[in-house]
Amino acid sequence: MVARINTVAFQGIDVVDIDVQVQMAAGMPAFTVVGLPDKAVAESRERVRAALGAMGLALPPKRITVNLAPADLLKEGSHFDLPIALGLLAAMGVVPADEVAGFVALGELALDGAVAPVAGVLPAAVHASARSLGLICPAAQGGEAAWAAGIEVLAPRSLLALINHFKGTQVLTPPDPCLVEEDARYPDLGDIKGQETAKRALEIAAAGAHNLLMIGPPGAGKSMLAQRLPGLLPPLDAAEALEVSMVHSLAGALRGGGLTRRRPFRDPHHSASVPALVGGGLRTRPGEVSLAHLGVLFLDELPEFHGIR
C-alpha cells in the first residue's frame, strides 16, 4: 500500500503540485527520501522520526521509501516535514488516508512535534482553493491561509493536535482571516518645515505614480522626504493586499500571520547584491524590487548600487 499526501513546491512565484508517496515494505529497516530533495528535505527524516517519538509512536522496522513526485523537480525547504509525517501516519493507519487526501499540507516539525511556520502559506492556500482542496498549515499562519476563500483550513499547533482532529477527539477551530494591526499613522509631510518645492514634487509623484530622482547635498532631507511618500498613497485595497502579501509570504516576510493594508517601503543598502535586489539565487526568492510591489522602493545613494553607473 502506498499512502499519498498533497503538498506544493515553489518556483519563484509559481506553485507546483507535489505528490508525497509513502511506502512501507518488507526488508531491512531503512528510511529513504527520493525525488531530488535538497539538504533541508533530506534532514526531514530525523525531524519526523523525533516528532513521532515525542508522541510515543515509533516507525515500524520496515523499509520506508518516501517519493516526492514529480521526481525530476528539485524539492527545497522544510515545509515537506508535515506532509511526510502525515504520509507515514496514513501508511501506519493512525490517520484515515481518504480524509487526509482532501488537503494540501505544509509545515516544519520541531523535535517535540510542534508545527513551525514556513514560507509560502498564502500562495499555497490560493492554489489549494483553485484545486478545491483544504489546507493544513502551522497555527501561527492560519489567519494568513484563511484569506483564500472557500477552503477548509486546519491550523494545528502540533502534530498530536492534528491526529486528534482526524480521530474526532479534539476538533480544530477554523482560523479567522487575520489583518495585521499596525500603526495607522505614517511619517507625515507635516513634520517637515520648509522644502515646499520638494514636497510639491513628492505630491505630484504620488498622484501620478511617477518615479522620482532626488539630487542634493548630504543633510538636505532626501531620505526624510522619501520615507513620507507611502503616507501620500492610498491604503491597499483587498485585491492589492492579497497580491502584495503573496509575494511577502513567499519571501517569509509576512509578519504576524496576516495580511496588511500598508504600502511597502523598501530601503535596501547600496552594498546589496544583484540577486538581493531583483531576486534569484540558488533558492529563488523575491528581491527588494518585488517586495516593494505596489509600494515604494527607495534607492539611497543610487550611483553606488552594483550595475548602476
- Determine how β-strand 153-154 pairs with β-strand 134-136: parallel
Instruction: Output the CA–CA distances (angstroms, integers) from residue 229 to 61, 193, 204, in the order listed.
Output: 62, 16, 11
112 closest CA partner among 143, 79, 91, 81: 81
The pLDDT tens digits for 18-30 are: 999 999 999 999 9
Q: Which tens digit of pLDDT belongs to each residue from 117-133?
A: 999 999 999 999 999 99
What confidence score (pLDDT) does residue 276 get?
87
With residue 224 as reference, give the H or E element that holds it: helix 222-227
Burial string for 157-190 (b: 16+ CB within 10 Å, else e) reads ebbbbbbebbeeeeebeebeebebeeeeebbebe
Work out the end-to-end distance of the chain between its first and last CA atoms, rounded to an integer number of angstroms.
Answer: 62
CATH superfamily of the domain spanning 189-304: P-loop containing nucleotide triphosphate hydrolases (3.40.50.300)
CB atoms within 10 A of CB 38: 15
Sheet strands side by side (includes 103-105): 30-34, 63-69, 14-25, 2-11, 103-105, 134-136, 153-154
Q: CA nearest 47: which of 105, 139, 1, 116?
A: 116
Backbone φ and ψ of 33, nearest 5°: -115, 120
Confidence (pLDDT) at 188: 82
Closest CA to 184 of 266, 267, 263: 263
CB 197 within 8 A of CB 169: no
**Burial class for 213, CB neighbours closer than 10 Å (0-12, 13-18, 19+):** exposed
pLDDT value at residue 185: 65
Residue 216 sits at φ, ψ, to 5 deg, of 180, 165
Other residues' Cβ atoms within 10 Å of the Cβ of residue 34 = 13
Which positions of the chain have pLDDT values less than 70? Answer: 181-185, 281-282, 307-309
Which amino acid, one-letter code, is at 249?
Answer: S
Cα angle for residues 46, 50, 54 (degrees, 5° grid) = 175
CA distance 190 to 195: 11
Distances (CA, A) of 163 to 14, 45, 159: 30, 19, 6
pTM, two decimal places:
0.86
What architecture is the 2-167 domain classified under in CATH?
A: 2-Layer Sandwich (3.30)
Q: What is the pLDDT of residue 63?
A: 96
Q: Where are the domains of the chain?
A: 2-167, 189-304
Q: Give pLDDT, residue 284.
A: 74
